[in-house]
Each structure stands twice: as structure tokens, then as C-alpha cells.
Structure 1
């Protein structure tokens, strides 16, 4: 058996994933004949039939399925090696772009970043605040090097460091509701009352949180404005507990949490792309955040 090339392996993987030579060619930005020749050459070099070409769509043979599983592992390792080599070749960054999400305790997060960047005066920190699905959209679009927000931990494009758990609680000002709230309060009872929500800064908004369908709404850009709207008795809504703990203790806000409206706990993380190279300062910031939490960085 002669040695096969990385190009041949990539072409086979693309055909296996896309289900056809033309789709694989488009995926790899190569011609159909070039992809077909590469896979045929790979089969000949291995002495195996990897693809069943008898149907409308090509399919993996039993040998092809087994070989493809191993090939995917190899290709992932090679991609990781390429990213590592790019990181080694990068010089110290002039700027790092960090996006802070709306669920963050901003003072604590900014103090942490300030402590790090005081040791790196040649790298300018560019901070941007985004809301709801905006931080993840900025990260995936390549407009941020790191975000501090909640993410989908099942997204293979991301790696993360757990920072904190942020409880959210539904609240209203005393007298906002025409009845005394109890722990049996249901969302349907709030449908006639204005709900304050955070505007999603993403170009393509994602899922909505805590929305009561059919309720009148007012939207605000951030949690502080949301808190003020609720304090003034203009609406009700969910807020991070760290932002309203004093008001709940003083009675200037009432918790609406109960059996049917339990609130939620959001996992605050620092996240970055796992499939992109990161410069030396970004790497050091990642290690700084990881070690400050005394637990390892998460990876899907």
C-alpha cells in the first residue's frame, strides 16, 4: 500500500460528509473531476472500496464508515496543529477585542480585565457591550477575540471558561400589579401588564428569554435601564439577582418568583473560537482567566 496524501483524505472526507462529488467539490472549491480522481486514487492506494456508487447518491461502504471515523480524528488533529503553528508565528497583538454581554456583573468583569491589561500596556483593549445573542454573533463573525456571556456549550466552534452562575429573578415595583403576587402566580396573569425586555443587538436575533406571549412590551438597551423602568413602576421583568438584591431586601422591588415563574440561572463564561489561532497576549489572557477560576477551560 502506497502512502496517501492529505489532499486525497480531505476530498474523501468532504464526499462522505456531503453525500456526493459535486457537493464536495463546491465545499472544497475544487473541480468535480479533481475530487473524483482524489477519492479513486485513495481507494486504489488503500486497496479498499470506500464508497458505494451504485445509488443516486454515493454512500459509505462498511469499510468506508470505519475509515472515515479514523480520518475525521486525523483531520481534526491536523487542523489543531495548523492553528498551533499559526499561533507560534504571531507576534504580540496591538489590540484585543472583548465583548461583554448584558448578563455580566460589569464592575467585576472590567476590574479583572483592567488588572490584566495594566501588565500589557502595548496591547490596547477594545471593549464592546452587546445584548442577548449579540456577543455570540460578534464572536462567530470574527468581530471579537473573546466574549464574556452565556454560550451554547454544544457548539464545537467554541471553547469556554466557566466564570459564574447568574440567577435571574422576575420582579416588579410594589403596586405595579393590581393584585398581591403569590408563589402560585402564572405567566398568563401578567399578559395584560407591560413587560420590559432587553433589545437583542444581533443582526439575526436568537431565542427570546422569559417572554410572555401576547403581553405588551417595552424594550431597553441594557439591564440598568431595565431596572430603572421596573423601579418606576412602568413594567415588570427579569433581572440578574446581583443587580436587585438590595432593592429586594429594602422592599422597593418585589420578587414574582414562584412555582410557575421560577426564574433561571445563566452560566456566565469567557468564550473564544476553538478553531482560530490566538496571539500570545490572547493566550495569556485565557490562562489568566482560567487560573483565576481554579478550574480547567471547558471544551466541547
Structure 2
């Protein structure tokens, strides 16, 4: 019995299929099947009911799964401890934050955690759209915070809060629409670029954006700061997280617009996310629980 064989077995159980397990742990489907077969032959048991359409644990398989989880968790903890002892330091907790969700709620949660656990180091990166979940899948972060892009049964997640998305343009652009208080027709926007933040996921087969006009120009930038700068200079229109442009809205530098047959405004849930099959470190468990139970202190 090898740990890689146990990882393959656990991945099949937790993802629900051999194909999904292969994707989750970056193995080929034949390699996953071979690992399961070796385990079954070694102990003379059947781990899965072969008569079911999807992999279903036998009673022996269920018992084997429970102990496999414990053993793999202990092995992972021992491996983490060995690395920490060798380095003489505690491995930083890797957090990936979506560019869309960097509001006061998210910052308040992280600040509260850092104040409560000042000795835990955080390694924070940012990403966008499916790039956030890709970092989790590739084991480049322990926990992510962002919208529900690309989530499936491989992920464990809970909703933390909601952000407001709003469609805006500069006054310069708005004055060319002659809308007279009515909704803007999509045709009026075809010549004005829709500004979008690029999907950063390497494995993405599409751009990942849900709210785009089917016709018209599109310009892509790397982050929301660049997006806002282009909006302020009248170079296009865009949906923006409202918390990133509150001062510009108050000052009249950006104007909300309503577009026919388009989701001009919406509430976007923000989730805390981790991979189900990954063993969580002590630091990650502390972070997960504190973020989940966080409530802002009223002044």
C-alpha cells in the first residue's frame, strides 16, 4: 500500500468519479483505476460496487475509506511538520483573494485574524475569475476568497458576504447616449468598448465572463484599478464592484447606467473556499473558523 494509491482512492470517493478524481489530483484515469485495483488485490476486497453507474463504496470500501482519510491526514501533518522543522519556521498560510472581493468586509476579517494570531504568517496573492479556484486545484494556496466561479463537488465553501456590482460610464460617454432617463439600448454601446478584467486561469477554455453584450468592442485589462482608470478617461463602459468606485460615484466622475436586456446591477456572493481532499493545516483550520464566525465590531 502506497500513499499515492490512497490518494487516488480517496479522490474517487470525494469527487464521485474516476475522471473527476484524475483531474483533481493530476493523474491519468488509467493510473487512478490501476491504484484502486492494486489496493483491492492486495487485501482481497472490493472497494466499489461495480454494478453502479457511478463509483459506490461497498461496506468494506466505506470502512477502508474512513481509515484511509485518517492515515493520509496524519501523513500530511507529519510531512508538514518535517518541512517546518527543517526550515526552523512555520510555513505561511497561503491565501488567494479575488480582485472582486477586496472590500471592507474581507479586509476586516483578515485584519481580525492577524490581530488575534499575530504569529501566523500570511502569504496573500490575488487573482480573478477561474484563476482563483485554479490556484486551489494546483495547490498554490490553502484557502481562497472570491465568487462562485468554477466551483463543483471538489470544493468546500461557505458564503461570507455579498458585494454590489454596478454598470458605469464617465459623464463624457453618458452625454452621448441621449437616454433621457430611459434604459440605454445595447446598440448604443457597440462602438464603445466594454472593459473587462482578463480571466487568469491557464486552463480556461473561454473568457469566463457572464455579463457581456453579444456584439460590440471589448477591451481586456489585468485588474480593476486599470479598469477604473480607463473608465474615468472615457475609454469605455463596465460593470464594477461598487466598493471600488464609491468616491467616483459620489463625485460624479462615474455615472450608473441601465442597459436593456442586460444585468446592469446585481448582488454577487463572495465565498471562502478550500479543496475537500486537501488536508488542512492547523493554521488553515484557525483561519477557516475565524472567517466563518467573524462579525464586525460596531463602533
**TM-score normalised by length of structure 1:** 0.71
**Partner of residue 289, structure 2:** 287
**Counterparts in 2 of 1:183-202, with a 5 A limit?**
183-202=182-201
CA contact (8 A) 2:195 2:236 kept: yes
Q: Distance in 2 between matches of 1:210 and 1:66?
A: 35
**Partner of residue 221, structure 1:** 222
**Counterparts in 2 of 1:92-171, with a 5 A limit?**
93-106=90-103, 108-152=105-149, 155-171=152-168
Q: Distance in 1 between matches of 2:136 and 2:54?
A: 35
Distance 1:236 1:103, change over 3 A: same
Of the three residues 26, 34, 41, the one matched with 2:31 is 26
**Partner of residue 178, structure 2:** 180
Residues 66-101 of structure 1 deviation map (CA, whole Å, 9 limit, x = unaligned): 993655765664554445545765548421111111
Q: Which one has a bigger Cα radius of gyration?
A: 1
Q: Distance in 1 between matches of 2:53 and 2:266?
A: 42
Distance 1:230 1:143, change over 3 A: same
**Partner of residue 254, structure 1:** 255
Distance 1:187 1:81, change over 3 A: farther
Distance 1:26 1:84, change over 3 A: closer
The offset of 1:29, in angstroms, is: 3.5
Q: Distance in 2 between matches of 1:289 and 1:229?
A: 34
Residues 123-154 of structure 1 deviation map (CA, whole Å, 9 limit, x = unaligned): 32111111222111111110011111112585
Q: What is the aligned residue count? A: 264
CA contact (8 A) 1:169 1:257 kept: no
Q: Distance in 1 between matches of 2:146 and 2:195?
A: 20
**Partner of residue 277, structure 1:** 279
The offset of 1:212, in angstroms, is: 2.3
Q: Distance in 2 between matches of 1:70 and 1:135?
A: 36
5+ residue gaps in structure 2? 20-27, 85-89
Q: Distance in 2 between matches of 1:75 and 1:35?
A: 10
CA contact (8 A) 1:83 1:275 kept: no
Distance 1:238 1:81, change over 3 A: same
5+ residue gaps in structure 1? 1-5, 44-49, 52-59, 295-300
Q: Distance in 1 between matches of 2:55 and 2:243?
A: 52
**Partner of residue 87, structure 2:** none
The offset of 1:239, in angstroms, is: 0.3
CA contact (8 A) 2:94 2:142 kept: yes
CA contact (8 A) 1:94 1:122 kept: no
Structure 1 range deviating more: 89-98 or 266-275? 89-98
Distance 1:152 1:65, change over 3 A: same
Residues 112-132 of structure 1 deviation map (CA, whole Å, 9 limit, x = unaligned): 323323444443211111122
Distance 1:222 1:17, change over 3 A: closer
Distance 1:202 1:107, change over 3 A: same
**Partner of residue 23, structure 2:** none
**Counterparts in 2 of 1:201-240, with a 5 A limit?**
201-205=200-204, 206=206, 207-240=208-241
The offset of 1:171, in angstroms, is: 0.6
Distance 1:147 1:122, change over 3 A: same
CA RMSD of aligned residues (A): 3.8
